[in-house]
Amino acid sequence: MANYRGHLAGASVFYAVYLGVLALVYAVDAAYTQFTLAELIAYPVVLFGLCLMFGLWPDVDTNSVGQDIFYTLFFIVDAVLIGTRHFEEAAYLGLFAILPVLGKHRGWTHTWWAMLVIPSPLLILPYIFFPERPLWGLPFYGAAVIGYFSHLFMDGLVIPFKRKRKRR
């Protein structure tokens, strides 16, 4: 079981592999030529941020750095929604934001299905709002799933491993 620094380190390593695979895929048919220089810099940075965030997400169900980060973001987004009179969206955000703390630590947030479902808006919303580019959200979804997977891996939930305990 890693602390938040361990989860960030793990997500960084998994992201490096993911970025390498993406670079290979985009290099095969020179698909990267469709992007501007700014996009070639911004996309990897955004993907890295998503990977780090989702590397911390599963611990949102307990008092942790991840919980502090996400609930601060939830509060800011909720305040903006209320300030712009989007009350229904603010209510839904509040409802979904409370779900992780209703479970126990290492409960549903530490499952393979949550790893696939929680980041799914990154895949589904671009498909709905930009039907001319249906796979636009795929790299973002992939980065989120990789980050989530790194968390489960670092907690020993993918491949169980024994931890060495320090003797005193």
| Domain edges within the chain | 4-154
Token output for 106? 């290492």
What's the pLDDT at 102? 87
Token output for 75? 């509060």
The CA-atom distances, in angstroms, between 29 and each of 1, 32, 64, 65 are: 41, 8, 43, 41
Which ranges of 57-86 does DSSP label H, i.e. alpha helix?
65-83
pTM, rounded to two decimals: 0.85
User: What confidence tens digit (pLDDT) does each residue in 99-119 have?
Assistant: 888 888 888 999 999 999 999
Cα–Cα–Cα angle for 90, 68, 160, nearest 5°? 110
What are φ and ψ of residue 13, in 5° steps?
-65, -45
* pLDDT score of 97 more than 80: yes
